[in-house]
Amino acid sequence: MAHDEGTERIGNDVVAAAALAGDEAAFGQLVERHRRELHVHCYRMLASYDDAEDIVQETFLRAWNKRHSYAGRSTVRAWLYQIATNACLDFLRSSSRRARPYQEPPLAVPRAAVQPPIDVSWLQPYPDSQLDAAAPGAEEPDAVVVAKETIELAYLMIIQQLPPRQRAVLIMRDVLGWSAAETAALLETSVASVKSALQRARATVQQRRPPRREEWDRSVSRTEDERRVLERYIDAHERADVALLAQLLADDVVQTMPPYPAWLVGCEAALTFAADVFDPGSAAYHGRWRSVLTWANRQPAVAQYVQRPSAAETRSLAGEYRAQVLDVLRIENGAITGITSFEPRRFAAFGLPLVLA
């Protein structure tokens, strides 16, 4: 039987009318279809998966309380985006978060002086499986596919350095594709103000983008070269092979570990740190590694598990492999240029166990 688009549209209108009239069940049905894309939007604004979750809930609460104010001049989706964006801006106004260079010394000091990277301690990864769920459906064909260049960690870290309203304008215009007039209406400002904010935001992004990147990589394909690098990265950990790891890292690789003020810049420093972690005779020895491949922010990621050594006297290895770290990798031209390492509590969002069977 052919799909009756007219019947579906009428059905949606009936649900919307009932929802806005105060039918809680209908309201839930109306807003829930937008949950995932609103979550991605709030995540871009805040760079925190958990905070985005809270703000989406706040958005739905505000929408319910303001349902009588919806006049039908825009779609319900646009109305919810306005509420969500304003909720994000309110959150940012009340927050003391500031993206700035790390103040702490690096975990391993290289021979040559380096500039510390930007500390975005609230940064959290986003599972690709959930990004796929935010893809447009039949009910909202104007929803935007989550492209790699708009969600990868390097991009998020840059836009976290923008003032909140510039950040909102950049996302609405360049990511979601809203017009200047639509963005101005959402932010309750002028078109001229939107254009000015967008110009300043684009200039900042251009200035602070990764050095090897002329434009954000628009490919979401997972190439064979990328997979080979991943397989060797896993091998390097599972075999505790520093020499193999050295073949994979770019000279200027950067590693950060949000929310902790821990960082490394340069292959030499990263290998010094890894050598201590891999060495059974070192106080920093972690144990035997096992790895699980996953994907975050349209980037390859490795969930790392460790079988811890027993008593310090024997350093023998036994027992379960427990969650240690989630490494999200940036791979460019066959080399790892960035590693963002997240704590084990992020595993749950990826459906990963804390203990390997």
The band of 10, judged by pLDDT with boundaries at 50, 70 and 90, is very low
What's the maximum distance between 2 C-alpha atoms anywhere in the chain? 75
Question: Using one digit for the tens of pLDDT, what is the confidence trace for 23-40?
Answer: 788 888 888 999 999 999
Q: Within this chain, do residues 176 and 252 fall inside the same structural domain, yes or no?
A: no
The band of 220, judged by pLDDT with boundaries at 50, 70 and 90, is very low
pLDDT at 137: 59
> Would you say 256 and 263 are in contact if contact means Cβ atoms under 8 Å apart?
yes
Q: Within this chain, do residues 184 and 244 fall inside the same structural domain, yes or no?
A: no
Q: How far apart are CA 184 and CA 88, in angstroms?
A: 16
The answer on pLDDT for 330 being more than 70 is: yes
Which residue, among 336, 225, 232, has the nearest Cα to 293 in the 3D structure? 232
Mean pLDDT throughout 247-276? 96
DSSP 241: -
Rg of the chain on CA atoms, in Å: 23
More confident residue, 226 or 124: 124
Instruction: Scan for tokens 């394909």, then name that residue.
Output: 221
Q: Within this chain, do residues 204 and 230 fall inside the same structural domain, yes or no?
A: no
Which residue, among 315, 313, 267, 262, has the nearest Cα to 288 in the 3D structure? 315
Q: Is this prediction's pTM over 0.85?
A: yes
Q: Within this chain, do residues 156 and 111 fall inside the same structural domain, yes or no?
A: yes
> Would you say 259 and 278 are in contact if contact means Cβ atoms under 8 Å apart?
no
Residue 216 lies in a domain: no
In the chain, % of residues over pLDDT 70? 85
**H or E stretch at 306:** strand 299-307
Q: What is the CATH number of the domain that holds 299?
A: 3.10.450.50
Q: Within this chain, do residues 26 and 121 fall inside the same structural domain, yes or no?
A: yes
Q: Which residues are within 8 A (CB) of 348 and not within 5 positions of it... i.e. 6 or more apart?
A: none
Q: How far apart are CA 29 and CA 34, in angstroms?
A: 10
pLDDT at 218: 47
The residue among 208, 243, 260 that closes a domain is: 208
Q: Within this chain, do residues 153 and 44 fall inside the same structural domain, yes or no?
A: yes
Q: Within this chain, do residues 198 and 250 fall inside the same structural domain, yes or no?
A: no
pLDDT at 75: 84
Residue 242's domain spans which residues? Answer: 224-356
Mean pLDDT throughout 54-60? 97
The band of 4, judged by pLDDT with boundaries at 50, 70 and 90, is very low
Mean pLDDT throughout 127-145? 72
Q: What is the CATH number of the domain that holds 192?
A: 1.10.1740.10
Q: Within this chain, do residues 202 and 228 fall inside the same structural domain, yes or no?
A: no
pLDDT at 43: 98
The band of 187, judged by pLDDT with boundaries at 50, 70 and 90, is very high
DSSP 118: E
> Would you say 302 and 230 are in contact if contact means Cβ atoms under 8 Å apart?
yes
Q: Within this chain, do residues 163 and 229 fall inside the same structural domain, yes or no?
A: no
Q: Within this chain, do residues 95 and 121 fall inside the same structural domain, yes or no?
A: yes
User: How many domains, the chain?
Assistant: 2
Q: Are strands 321-332 and 355-356 parallel, antiparallel or unpaired?
A: antiparallel
Residue 250 lies in a domain: yes
Instruction: Scan for tokens 């009340």, then name that residue.
Output: 94
Q: Within this chain, do residues 134 and 32 fall inside the same structural domain, yes or no?
A: yes
Q: Within this chain, do residues 107 and 256 fall inside the same structural domain, yes or no?
A: no
